[in-house]
Structure 1
Amino acid sequence: MSADVAITFDSETGRGDWQITGMGNLLLAPPMVTAVYVSLFTDRRAGPDDVLEPGETDRRGWWGEGLDNKPIGSRLWLLRRAKHLPETLKRARDYIREALAWMIEDELAAKVDVVAEWQTRSRIAAVITIHRVNGTQETVTASWAWQGV
C-alpha cells in the first residue's frame, strides 16, 4: 500500500502540519486521507455571492488556482462564525461535497458520501465515504471547531 505525507490537523486552531516521527522521518498516511485534508482545509476562494464577515474583504483562495483555473480547497472557512443552526450543518455538507467533487471529475471516485453532524456546540464532525471506481471504498473522518455560537 502506498503512503503520503500525513497532515495532522488541529481542529481547535484550524491548522494542519506535517509531523516528524521519533526516527526523524515524516509521518505517513494513506494518500486518500491526505487528499481529503488538503481538499477540506485549504481555503477555496469565496464566490461572488458568498457573504463575508463584516469588515472582511479577503476572499481568500489558493494562488495555484490561477494556473489551471481549477478551484482547490473548500469554503468551510466561511462558517468560521456561523451559528449552531441546521442551515450551518447543511452548508458544511455542501462545502465538503464541493471540495471533493474533483475526485469524481478525475475518475478517482465513482461517488462521495458525506455525513456531517454536530459533535459539540462549536464543532462539526464529518464522515466521508469515497466509493472508488474500482469498487472499493475508503472512509475519512474530519472535525473542526469555529467561533460561532
Structure 2
Amino acid sequence: MIIEGSLQASLLRSVLISLFTWRRAETDDPFDDAERFGWWGDTYPAQANDRIGSRLWLLRRVRLTAQTQRDAEFYAREALGWLVDDGQVKHINILTEQVQSNRLNLGVELVVSDGQIVRFNPSEQWQVIYAV
C-alpha cells in the first residue's frame, strides 16, 4: 500500500525491489549453469504464481544487441507489472538507451492515478554494464 505524502519514495522502493531482486529464471531461459536463482520467498507465495524481482540478471553476459534491448524492456515491464495489476499506477513506460557498445541505460516512468508522471532514471550503479 502506498502511504499518502510519500508517493515518490514508496514507488522508488517498489521499483528498486522489483527490478533488482533476481526473479527465478524460466525453464526455457538461457542461463550459464544449472542455477536458476530467484528470491527464496517465491517458494511459498501468498498468491499462486506471484513472484518478486526481474530476470534482468539473465542479460549480464550477453552481447548488447537490439534483441537484448527488447529483452531488457520486457523483463523490466514484467517485473513492474504488479504495480498496474494492484492499482498502484495506471501505466508504466520503460525507457532504454544504448549509450556504448557495452552499456544499456534503463529508465522508468510511472503514470499515477491523477495523471502525474513519476520518473526514475537509474544512476550509474543501477545500469546494466555487463553486456559484452
The TM tier, using the shorter chain, reads 0.7 to 0.9
Aligned residues: 122
Q: Structure 2 CA distance, aligned partners of 1:112 and 1:46?
A: 23
Larger radius of gyration: 1
1:105 aligned residue: 85
Q: Which has the higher strand share?
A: 1
1:10 aligned residue: none
- Superposition deviation, residue 137 in structure 1: 1.8
Query: TM-score, length-normalised on structure 1?
Result: 0.75
- Superposition deviation, residue 35 in structure 1: 1.1
Q: Which has the higher helix share?
A: 2
Query: Counterpart of 1:57 in structure 2: which amino acid?
Result: A
- Superposition deviation, residue 130 in structure 1: 0.5
> What's the secondary structure of 2:70's corresponding residue?
helix
Residue 103 of structure 2 contacts residue 131 of structure 2 at CA under 8 Å; is this kept in 1? no
Q: Structure 2 CA distance, aligned partners of 1:103 and 1:2?
A: 16
2:127 aligned residue: 144
Gapped regions of structure 1 (runs ≥ 5): 4-28
CA RMSD, Structure 1 to Structure 2 (Å): 1.7
> What's the secondary structure of 1:82's corresponding residue?
coil
Query: TM-score, length-normalised on structure 2?
Result: 0.84
Gapped regions of structure 2 (runs ≥ 5): none
Q: Structure 2 CA distance, aligned partners of 1:145 and 1:126?
A: 8
Query: Counterpart of 1:38 in structure 2: which amino acid?
Result: I
2:28 to 49, 56, 68: 49
Residue 93 of structure 2 contacts residue 108 of structure 2 at CA under 8 Å; is this kept in 1? yes
2:108 aligned residue: 128
Correspondence list, 1:1-20, <5 A: 1-2=5-6
Q: Structure 2 CA distance, aligned partners of 1:105 and 1:145?
A: 26
Residue 103 of structure 2 contacts residue 130 of structure 2 at CA under 8 Å; is this kept in 1? no
Q: Which moved more, 1:39-48 or 1:125-134?
A: 125-134
Query: Counterpart of 2:6 in structure 1: which amino acid?
Result: S
Same amino acid, percent of matched pairs: 33
